[in-house]
Amino acid sequence: MQKSRFVSGLIGAVALVSLTQCFTQKKNEGERLYAEHCQSCHLEDGKGLRGVIPPIAGADYLENHRNELPCLIRHGIEGSITVNGVEYNQKMPGVETMPEDDITNLLNYIQTNFGNQNRRYTLNEVQDLLNLCPPHQH
């Protein structure tokens, strides 16, 4: 009895450790993807460039346009958009070749870092949203 409790406790602990490890790794993955594909424009602190490149940090856009973000990353965006009350109008290129799981990791990274505390995505959700991308020129 004592022993089995100990064993299940141990299994639980091990599971927890590997789970957190899994999460940390995903976070690192998101961080890496951000550094590779996004940081040159949105900058290390996610604050963007005043008036020219919108922020990721504290951006209301991430919540208000949550469902459009997978397509935004894959195909980019152009035209006038408003983020935290400021208008931006500069073309952002897409990363057409980024696989769905990377997009999921990256989105979860920006939704939960830079002071953001928004809802995460599941891979299924991102896949479904990508199937609904509006027509684009490529």
Partner 1 sequence: MIRNNVIFKSILPALLAATALFSCSPSSEETTLPILGEREAIEKEVDGKTVTDTVYHQIPDFAFVNQDSQKVTNATLAGKIYVADFFFTSCPTICPKMKSQMLRIYEKYKDNPQVMLLSHTIDPKHDTVAVLKEYAERLNVETAKWQFVTGDKDSIYDVAMQYLVPAQEDQTIEGGFTHGGHFVLVDENRHIRGIYDGTKEEAVDKLLSEIPLLLKAQPHAKK
Q: Which residues bind ligand HEC (CB under 6 A)?
A: 37-38, 40-42, 53-56, 59, 61-62, 69, 72-73, 77-79, 81, 83, 88-90, 92-93, 95, 106, 110
C-alpha atoms less than 13 angstroms from C-alpha of 11 in its C-beta half-sphere: 5
Angle between helices 123-131 and 100-112 (to 10 degrees): 110
Q: Which residues does 54 contact at the CB level (< 8 Å), separation at least 6?
A: 42, 48, 61, 81, 83, 84, 86, 88
CB atoms < 10 A from the CB of 83, how many?
19
- Residue 95 lies near partner 1 (rule: CB under 8 A): no
Q: Which does 133 bind (CB under 5 to 8 A by kind): ligand HEC, partner 1, none?
A: none
**Least separation in angstroms between CB 12 and ligand HEC:** 35
Report if residue 49 touches partner 1, rule: CB under 8 A.
Answer: yes
SS3 content of the chain, % helix, strand, coil (to 5): 55, 5, 40
Q: Which span sits near partner 1 by CB under 8 A: 21-29, 38-46, 62-70, 114-122?
A: 38-46
CB of 127 to ligand HEC, least distance (A): 18
Euclidean distance between CA atoms 114 and 8, whole angstroms: 37
Residue 106's binding partner, choosing from ligand HEC, partner 1, none, with beta-carbon cut-off 5 to 8 A by kind? Answer: ligand HEC
Q: Which residues bind partner 1 (CB under 8 A)?
A: 40-43, 47-53, 88, 91, 93
